Structure 1
């Protein structure tokens, strides 16, 4: 039978979590740490590493009775070795199912304050997003023991309460420690981020004094930073037709990496939607641009430029090799117009683009995704569609019905509704 509260001290678990947080913060590049919002990142990391305490739903405890065979020690065995050590008796088993929510791993650790005893249970089922976890605990009685009681139900329930109250008390002690840890974690994360920022600032200031150029960090988290470069003309696949060929473009590897950065940036906004829902298109666009520019730079200034109201451009010799648009969701018609607007900016074959859409007004975000998915399925200009996530697609489009020009479009739809 599993036994609770015996795997070690909660303080050791807390120490490992803080070490993991410090390790994650240490992996943030110098360029990133100097451009992030410390308060937003503190909230993000706190939400990621905070521990959910155990909540028992005592009012929803259920129980079930079944017949069983009970083994009891034979006290006469000690005096007569020919006697059996145990004898079997008919009996009953009452199993209690105690629902709970929270991190079930906590049930196996010992709090700073605890009750000295053994805490055996039949089983522990983990909680999920769809259902509560269950602690199963049983009591066994011989037929004679139970039938001798006048009010058998009250007897069993009082026995359960008397024994399980100690379990509840230990869980209360655990939750007290978790609450203190969660409170201290917020301050610890903020201090670590500020320390990391100061270290990065000192390093970059020293490089500036030594007149050394800054390079992209190859260990930037969750991305593959690469230097954007010009790409020479390519021979047309069908020489019998003449197309206006791109003088500049970005590689598929760059394009994939840019879209990964956009995805991470916007997903991070979703996690703290209450902070970003009040922002307008241009302000949301500026956040995405700032994140992109922490990964790409060149000697002439920012790689990603803001042109017009909501466009994002990569410019080579004043010519766009990558275009993105940020839009607020206002229905399928506006979504279609946003794509057409994006296409209108393109001047070269096989240009790479992105359309970033933020939902701020629709409670039913899944319905927004369904509209986008259906439009992509039925749009005659959509040549290919690959779903990366439920809210992100890699597509190719004909620029217009009679055109041979193909445009790559990454479409990401993100939920800021709260």
Structure 2
């Protein structure tokens, strides 16, 4: 029988895991610099963690099955004479998930007689018993013993793999940050030399100098006063979070005054929000930073690009979110755009509406990462721009419970 000896023949698992880790490190070093600077950091980290991690096989013991019995010829010796006879063969097929190669590596722990199987495919182990006993319970016990031996060896492999995966997950963010810092430092050095540089127009982002009156401005120029290259405009994360806090505070004020909220139309609420935002923020020229456009839009526009988009919508069913998201993605989206959907919920089951709205966002084809829930008061998502997964939109959903008094 040409069977397969598991956990034995292709070297030690430690060496294989080390090779995987080295390949991951080499991958980031070979990553195209423009592509690395262009891609969202979390996407790069996710890709590298996935490339450097190993999936230990998991036997799906609740899905094992048996094909029909067969007969095979087996050889035996009797007083030096070689003979062959036909015997019954029973096979048990055990599906598994994870990486097939792990079955071939020796873990740090093992036995002198590792398990054997009839076949090893990409997602199945074929266990075999020739000349099975006539008692069904004995056959079942023999197969269970084989499965248990495989599970034991997998548990030893899993211990090493889990340690490896934890190490990879911990080191990748630092590797990505260090590589990006090195590339940006090289670009700065190149710019300071003084020779003209031809650059792609979509190389990177910078923070728009948005100022809250109580904070120092976010500077878009490096310490030397000269930009290394022309980046794209973006709203800084601290300013984005500060703007969301203003919107939340105004939402809370409206919810506490239902008599006022009941009389306001959608665009009137939008105007109140604009007043509050512009009372807290100013643009580079000390003018109004947040602008209204149309009935429902709150925008920050820099260099003809929308870097903040607020959509005000009154809930009238799940289609409301479809309309809001469609309108959001129709805008000319620049890298690292920040956005908010301000959902006005009138005389409805607020919790049920919020759940439906969140599901609509999570089911959208542009959805990338999950919601960070803040006690039901705000939900944050990462979306990708239309037709470009590397351009991200940071989207907040802020529900307004505006009940009639």
Q: Which residue of 2 aligns with 1:140?
A: 130
SS at match of 1:361: helix
Q: Which residue of 1 aligns with 2:94?
A: 98
Distance 2:141 2:57 in 1: 23
Matches within 5 A, 1:81-230: 85-89=82-86, 91-117=87-113, 119-126=115-122, 133-141=123-131, 146-147=133-134, 152-197=135-180, 199-200=182-183, 203-204=186-187, 206-207=189-190, 210-211=193-194, 216=199, 226-227=200-201
Q: Could you say if the C-alpha distance between residues 58 and 416 of structure 1 is closer, same or farther in structure 2, counting changes exceeding 3 Å?
A: farther
Distance 2:61 2:85 in 1: 34
Q: Which residue of 1 aligns with 2:21?
A: 18
SS at match of 2:116: coil
Query: Cα RMSD over matched residues?
Result: 4.9
Distance 1:301 1:414 in 2: 21
SS at match of 1:73: strand
TM-score norm. by structure 1 comes to 0.49
Q: Could you say if the C-alpha distance between residues 65 and 305 of structure 1 is closer, same or farther in structure 2, counting changes exceeding 3 Å?
A: closer
Q: Which residue of 2 aligns with 1:269?
A: none
1:11 is displaced (CA, Å) by 2.5
Q: Could you say if the C-alpha distance between residues 414 and 4 of structure 1 is closer, same or farther in structure 2, counting changes exceeding 3 Å?
A: farther
1:52 is displaced (CA, Å) by 2.0
1:173 is displaced (CA, Å) by 1.4
TM-score norm. by structure 2 comes to 0.51
Matches within 5 A, 1:11-410: 11-27=14-30, 42=45, 45-63=48-66, 66-76=69-79, 78=80, 85-89=82-86, 91-117=87-113, 119-126=115-122, 133-141=123-131, 146-147=133-134, 152-197=135-180, 199-200=182-183, 203-204=186-187, 206-207=189-190, 210-211=193-194, 216=199, 226-227=200-201, 302-304=231-233, 308=291, 309-310=298-299, 315=303, 320=304, 330-334=320-324, 342=331, 353=332, 361-363=357-359, 368=364, 392=386
Preserved CA contact (<8 Å) 2:187 2:228:
no
1:186 is displaced (CA, Å) by 2.2
1:344-365 Cα distance to aligned partner (Å, 9 max, x none): xxxxxxxxx5599999934266
Q: Could you say if the C-alpha distance between residues 3 and 177 of structure 1 is closer, same or farther in structure 2, counting changes exceeding 3 Å?
A: same
1:7 is displaced (CA, Å) by 2.4
Query: Which structure 2 residue ranges, 5 or more long, are not aligned?
Result: 206-225, 236-289, 292-297, 312-318, 342-355, 367-383, 398-405
SS at match of 1:87: strand
Preserved CA contact (<8 Å) 1:10 1:111:
yes
Q: Which residue of 2 aligns with 1:387?
A: none
- Indicate which of 3, 8, 11 corresponds to 1:8: 11
Aligned residues: 272
Distance 2:102 2:396 in 1: 33
Preserved CA contact (<8 Å) 1:325 1:354:
no
1:181 is displaced (CA, Å) by 0.5
1:219-272 Cα distance to aligned partner (Å, 9 max, x none): xxxxxxx34xxxxxxxxxxxxxxxxxxxxxxxxxxxxxx6xx99xx9xxxxxxx
Distance 2:51 2:361 in 1: 23
1:253-296 Cα distance to aligned partner (Å, 9 max, x none): xxxxx6xx99xx9xxxxxxxxxxxxxxxxxxxxxxxxxxxxxxx
SS at match of 1:93: strand
Query: Which structure 1 residue ranges, 5 or more long, are not aligned?
Result: 127-132, 217-225, 228-257, 266-296, 343-352, 371-389, 395-409
